[in-house]
Amino acid sequence: MPQIRILGTGGTIASTRSEVGGAVAAESAESLAQLVRSEQHLSTREVLTTGSYLMGLAELRTVCEALIAETADPANCGLVVTHGTDTMEETAFLASLVVPRGIPVVFTGAQFTADSLSPDGPLNLQDAIAFAGEPALGNSGTLIAFGGRARTARGARKTHTTARDPFAGGTVVARRRGSEVIQIAAPTSTHEPLPLHAAFDHTRVDIVFAYPGAEVSLLRTAGENARRWAEANSGGEPDHAPAALVLAGTGVGNAGPGFAEEVARLTAQGTSVLLATRVPWGPVVPIYGNGGGTDLVAAGAIPTGDLNPFQARILAALLLSGPHRDRFAEAFTRYAA
């Protein structure tokens, strides 16, 4: 019998107040599934039980490897991941890059703990199960479901700390109308899934933010950290070891005095500088000189388009830890588009 497989990883949806006061992830996916009503046959699997703010790249890989394995099981017609909202946009985006398309993959969670006066987890989970049960959504890539809507993980961001629907961005592909699922978009991708290797766990890609008075030494230090990681993982060829970092510029992709010169120095030594923007929405568009985006790109920075700094970091780490590392700039530009 076809089933919706629910993968539990913890998060607020699985959290209750502990004896010492703070909420802690403790509820199982099985206990969460018992709170929803669904015509679908449900089964559960525990992958992790943690707050997503505690996750590192190794935990993100663990979740995505579990998803890859579950997509290969013909009994599964859809997959749901319960996950903390703090870093859901990173894990779900990684899943969109590495998990084969074919059946719906839907992330969801909660803003209020399971033992709160008005928990939102059960309804979000019920909606996610409904989306995961729609075969037409199987080619839309990994989705995030909150507030009765499912949006693509790519481009999604958590934009509010406490709102019941904290996510914005991406492409809304479906919504719930009563018990129905209404598909409103059908995004597709021509990219093959990227390979996911254990080296991803320790790949160093830092983010440096531009702001008034930011010192260029921040970028230099991030570059040094990236080079040290690359040299330690170069297999004996430190001079050719690719490394990368993300510069989250102001506006359409700008930074202060000295940044363009440092970008030129870093790229000359083989460290890729990805130019994103700290602005929540909109693409990087090199327009300004005098150290602005035009000068940064001329110095070798790679614009991330409309990919935000946090998801740009995930893509960079994935590429640096796999076979695309030797053609990093080309691969990044292709998969970021």
How large is the angle between the packed helices 328-336 and 309-320, nearest 10 degrees?
Answer: 140
The pLDDT confidence band at residue 123, using thresholds 50, 70 and 90, is: very high
Residues 147-206: tens digit of each pLDDT: 999 999 999 999 999 999 999 999 999 999 998 999 999 998 888 999 999 999 999 999
Answer whether residue 261 shows pLDDT above 80. yes
- What tokens appear for 265 in the block? 């120095």
Average pLDDT, rounded, for the chain: 95
Residues 281-305: tens digit of each pLDDT: 999 999 999 999 999 999 999 999 9
**Domain residue spans in the chain?**
3-183, 202-336
Q: Do the two domains 3-183 and 202-336 of this chain adopt the same fold?
A: yes
Q: How many CA within 13 A on the CB side of residue 11?
A: 27
Q: Which of 44, 50, 71, 85 is catalytic?
A: 85
For the chain, what percent of residues have pLDDT higher than 70? Answer: 98
Measured CA to CA, the distance from residue 32 to residue 96 in angstroms comes to 24
Fold exhibited by the domain 202-336: Rossmann fold (3.40.50)
The residue assigned the tokens 């719906």 is 104
- Per-residue confidence (pLDDT) for residue 134, from 0 to 100: 96
49 belongs to the catalytic site: no
Answer whether residue 263 shows pLDDT above 90. yes
Answer whether residue 69 shows pLDDT above 90. yes
3-class DSSP state of 258: coil
Answer whether residue 238 shows pLDDT above 70. no
DSSP bridge partners of 302: 274
Residue 50 near residue 15 (C-beta atoms within 8 A): no
- Per-residue confidence (pLDDT) for residue 205, from 0 to 100: 97
Percent helix, percent strand, percent coil in the chain, to nearest 5:
35, 25, 40
Residue 36 near residue 126 (C-beta atoms within 8 A): yes
Architecture of 3-183 per CATH?
Answer: 3-Layer(aba) Sandwich (3.40)
- Per-residue confidence (pLDDT) for residue 1, from 0 to 100: 63
The pLDDT confidence band at residue 119, using thresholds 50, 70 and 90, is: very high
Measured CA to CA, the distance from residue 141 to residue 119 in angstroms comes to 28
91 belongs to the catalytic site: no
- Per-residue confidence (pLDDT) for residue 237, from 0 to 100: 64
Answer whether residue 240 shows pLDDT above 70. no
Answer whether residue 239 shows pLDDT above 70. no
